[in-house]
Each structure stands twice: as structure tokens, then as C-alpha cells.
Structure 1
């Protein structure tokens, strides 16, 4: 029998695949990493333009409460002290996010937590329901009418392409409300952007590991699988199993990048556009992630779109129908001894960056323990 050239073929050079390859290489395993895109890094990939690191697939802000994960990524990059403090444009007026005392002052003119809480509680009592049946009822029951109509309704309808009354309540499990003057979007202890962009982390993870870009696993599946003892698959799980139980659904995004001959377009890295009069949900100004002083600036408009097989799959639609289909794929994946499935597409769930890294490290630990 012909000896395999690699211990692991890793399909997908995003964070899950890159961390897995790095860790297994440290354990003296030979890895080959492939990706169908023309670059490594998956959705955290940054493009260098005009001296700026452009988050090609949308804003990525690293944040975690897990010191082990924070220490892990700091092996590969120096992080700056960027704090995510987005703004929200609604009906021509700018508000601070997340919902905090600054937001409530801008909305109602309230100056104390007691005043703000009184308004929210009254509106919850007036508009909330005991058993919310859709997203609108859920939001009204959590934060009341003003916050829902100003910040949630139209933004969410753009994001998902459906009326809020047609969306399931579980999409909004909770809505964080802060009764402090604090615009830091995340509660996590550790936060920042890698100096030089996320490519520094990917380059560090994949240093001295064989990689091939522009390679579609499904076009040469048999040949590629014959190269390695095991396959680590991070793509769409339904595609792997040839859609035998049905096709899973996603929401997609389209990004429009614009170069502007000015040094500052909007004064903030992220501004949300709530109203449906704007077709995009937010504008990102990349230089502010790294406190850039360049003469020009690049912005990105983010447009939510219906998904099809020709578009990138960004957000799984985790409703009952899709979860039923996914469970069948997940059960079948457990029977595939020579295959390892991981990452947001293979697990059909939304992951933050620190969660993907943690998931990959856990998988490596699980495999290594078995040996």
C-alpha cells in the first residue's frame, strides 16, 4: 500500500485550520493546508492598500475573557489598545453603542440610571409579552418600544432580509443594556487589533507549513484525500456530504471598498446605518482600527444579501428546519473516522475568533489525548 505523504490534509486556511496545522506540526505531524481562495487566512485576511490593512471580509475585532487564548494569539502578533465603540445612525441622528447611559441621554435626555430604567421598564410593561413568538415581540419584551424602533427593527430586517415579525424570537436571546456611561462594545477583559493586521497571526501559525491556495477540494477530492492519513475539513458540511439531506441556508454579505482622497471619512472605525433607506448596514473605516495617520482613507460598505451557492456563506440561519438538517450531517460526520470537522461552516454555527481558536485547540487536545 502506498505510504501517505501527509498526516493531515487541512481543507481551509482560516483560523480553525491554521491553528490545527500549527499545533499538529509542533507534535511532529506533517500537514498540508489548502484553500480555494487565492490567499490564506479565511475571513480574517487583510489586504494591504495605501499603507492600511483592509479587513477584506468585514470588521474583525479580537476580544476574549480567556487569558490562555489571549496569550496564545500574542505569540504571533503585538496587539494595540483599540476599543470597539461603534456609532449608530438612526433617522439622521448619531447614537453611541452598545445601549448605555450615553445612548439613553441622546434618546430621551435622561441623565441618571434611575430615569433611564424607569422609561425602559414602563415600555416593557406596556409593549412586552410573556411568551414572545417572534423577534419583534422578543425585543419589545427586553428593551421596550423606543430602543427597538430606533436601533433594532430596521437594522435587523436589513440584516436578515425579513420582517421582524417573521423572524424567530431566539435570534435575540438578550439585549445588553448598561446603566453606565461606557461605550466599550465588549465586556471582555482583553481586546485589540493585531498591529500589522491579522495576516501576521496567520503567517505565524503557518510558518514552515506547506500551503496551497486557489485549490478547490471538491474539484480534486480523490487525489487530495489520497495524500494524507486524515482530512480536517472546515468548509460547508452539507457540501461535503453532497447535500444528501438537503441544503443548509445562510445569509451572505457583499462588501464595497472605496478609496477617498481625505484623511478621515467618518471619525470612527464602525458606524451602523439602521434605516432601511440605506441599503448597507454599516460603514467601516479601516485606518481607525490601527490609529492610522495616512493622507487617504478606505471605507467599506457592508450589504446583507440572500445567499446562494455562488456567494460566501457568512451567517447560518439556525432555525428549526436547518437545525434538523444539520443534525443529520453532524451524526454522519461522527461516523467518518478519517475525517475531522471543525469551524463555523462545518459546525454550522456563528463563532467569534477566540471561540474558533479555542475550538481548534480543544480538537487538537482531544486527538492528542487519544494517541
Structure 2
């Protein structure tokens, strides 16, 4: 007789959501996590009265009304709208690419003028490729040039992308940029989704409410005593690295990771926006996050006497670092398929989340997946 119905390895969003649903269904659930806190990469630390996103900015967005209603039933979300700004060599551009961006880039004032400029640059790039015998973009650079042209690619895409992936755009696959959103309106709202926001009081409250009355063991590494933990429950929900679960029998998958340089400033407002991307490759970090803007608006910003920023540095993952993003190339895709084939044979193990499925997920996708999951 097992002590629990489910052992959930990892107290991030997937694990916490699964625990919530299983507990609601009357199942006996134990969650373990090797970190000293729950929430995975959603974890926030309160510094100077500000909820600091310790593992990078997380902005919830969805067009699924059921998903939005569900997360708001756990904790009320605020009205935060993601409107990042790009800094290229000291000049600022609004994101995503919209009429504000095109005015800042070229001085154009009407949608027709903007479209003419974009098409002029796109067609020039396409003609150049055709002259070189290239009919289909072979890499990210050619794909981006054929979609948006030279100016926006060089100033707002190239440097940022190469910092993010640690590779030249000519060495990255074209499918990473399937399309580039172009808005011929003055609209700086980054997401197209109908709903977006941040939990009021931060993500810690959201996770805490999901795990209410669920047994949780922190500072607990599944692999340090694997046999013991495998005999704890009838089924296992695994949210860690799938290659580690199988002892790297086919080889190690690769990841990108992010390191953060945190600073406290004695001012009420450092940059005037939550997210500013630095798209010039000579700047070593990819972006600066000013955390107070996620939850403080208007006069609230000035009422808090200090501010906290995080500079983000993207780099190759090494042992001991936190794996963030799967590397989308042929070698890793082929390797993951081998691990996936092994996983498909498991009867009592459920693999879920970005590490276990070697796939990037937005938060709403995880929530929707668990809400529709049959226990």
C-alpha cells in the first residue's frame, strides 16, 4: 500500500497546478522540490517592499476565459499590461513593432507610409537572396530580413537574438522566427491575448494557494534517494530534466540559462518601465527589469522610496546552473525524441513542464493543460 497516490517532483507551476487538481479530486499528494522554496521560477522575494521576480519576469496572459477565471479564483490578478521598450545605442523604440516603432525608426506617420517602407526593405532583401540563388530562408537572419527588412533586423532583432542564444543569427534555424508581428496602429501592448496581469501580492501567494493543505518537502532531491521516493506513491509526476530521469543514457540535452545582476537604487523610478531590452550586442545584458512596475502604478511608484532592478545575462547552461530554455536545433530535437520514446512506455510516470517535455511553455499553456488533464 502506497502512502500517496501522487508524488510530484518539482513545486513549479506544473507541479503546483497538478497538486491542486489532484487534491481537489481527493487524491493523496506529496510534492518535493530540491529548492528551499515553492514556485519554481515564479518565486518572488520581497526586497524594499517590492516583489522581485528572482528568476526573470513572468507576465500571465491568455485569451482563454476559463483559464483567466481559474487563476483569478486562486488569487486576483492586477491590470498590468506588458509594453516593453528597446534601447539601441541609447535610442528608444517601442515594442512590439507598431506605428510608434516605425515613426521612431523612419519618421513615417501613416500606416501606408510604414507599409511602403517595410515592403521596400523586405523586397530588397528577398531580391538579394534570389540573386544569390536562395529561394527559401536558410537561417534566422535570412528569415527575419525577408519578413521585416534590414533596419529593424539590424537594430532591434540581430544583437538581442545573438545574445539570447549565444550564436550568430546565420547559425540559428529559420523556424525560430516563424513570423514577426507588425501592427499598423499605435499600440504598445506586447501580447495579443485578451487577458493579462500579475497576481496581486505576487506569484508566491498564487502558488501558496494552489498548494494549500498539500504535503510539501523542500530541500529534497529526488535523485539523492530515488528508490525511496519511487516507493512513496502509486504514480510519479516528474517536472525535472527528462535526460536526468533516464541517467543521461542517450547523452545530455542542452539548455540556455539566465543569470541576474540585482541592484537596489535609492530612487523611486529607475527607468520608467518594467522591461527595457538592450538590443545592441556590445551591451552584455539582454534587458533590465524594474520590478516595482509590475505591481505599482501611478502615484504608487513614487510612494515606494527605493527601486530594484535586475540585469539579465543569457548564457550556455552548465552543471550547477538553472536550465531555462531548450536549444532548438537538430541534435537536441533528435536526442529528445529518444527520451520521449522511453517516457511513452512509462505506465506510472507523468512527464510535464518545460524541462520534462523539453519545450518552452507560456504559463497559460501549463494551466490549460492541467485543467483539461484526466487524472
TM-score, structure 2 length as denominator?
0.95
Unaligned runs of 5+ in 2: 130-134
Partner of 1:333: 343
Q: Is the 8 A contact 1:62 1:353 kept in 2?
A: yes
Q: Distance in 1 between matches of 2:371 and 2:218?
A: 23
Q: Is the 8 A contact 1:44 1:60 kept in 2?
A: yes
Which residues of 2 match residues 1-371 of structure 1 at below 5 A? Answer: 3-128=1-126, 129=129, 130-291=135-296, 292=301, 293-363=303-373, 365=374, 367=375
Q: Distance in 2 between matches of 1:313 and 1:331?
A: 22
Q: Is the 8 A contact 1:40 1:202 kept in 2?
A: yes
Residue 4 of structure 1, CA deviation: 1.1
Count of residues in correspondence between the two structures: 363
Residue 246 of structure 1, CA deviation: 1.3
Which moved further from structure 2: 137-146 or 289-298? 289-298
Unaligned runs of 5+ in 1: none
Q: Is the 8 A contact 1:142 1:175 kept in 2?
A: yes
Residue 305 of structure 1, CA deviation: 0.9
Q: Distance in 2 between matches of 1:315 and 1:334?
A: 22
Q: Distance in 1 between matches of 2:317 and 2:34?
A: 19
Deviations for 1:195-215, whole angstroms, at most 9, x for unmatched residues? 100111101100000001111
Other structure's SS at 2:66 match? helix
Other structure's SS at 1:304 match? strand
Other structure's SS at 1:220 match? helix
Residue 309 of structure 1, CA deviation: 2.2
TM-score, structure 1 length as denominator?
0.96
Q: Is the 8 A contact 1:17 1:360 kept in 2?
A: no
Partner of 2:132: none
Q: Is the 8 A contact 1:101 1:178 kept in 2?
A: yes
Q: Distance in 1 between matches of 2:372 and 2:125?
A: 44
Residue 361 of structure 1, CA deviation: 2.4
Q: Distance in 1 between matches of 2:139 and 2:112?
A: 29
Q: Distance in 2 between matches of 1:192 and 1:339?
A: 33
Deviations for 1:9-47, whole angstroms, at most 9, x for unmatched residues? 000001111111111111110000011111000111111
Deviations for 1:46-97, whole angstroms, at most 9, x for unmatched residues? 1111111000100001100011110110011111111100110002201100
Aligned-residue CA RMSD (Å): 0.9
Other structure's SS at 1:75 match? helix
Q: Distance in 2 between matches of 1:148 and 1:302?
A: 21
Q: Distance in 2 between matches of 1:246 and 1:216?
A: 21
Q: Distance in 2 between matches of 1:237 and 1:296?
A: 41
Residue 170 of structure 1, CA deviation: 1.0
Q: Is the 8 A contact 1:55 1:286 kept in 2?
A: yes
Runs of 4+ displaced beyond 6 Å: none
Q: Is the 8 A contact 1:134 1:168 kept in 2?
A: yes
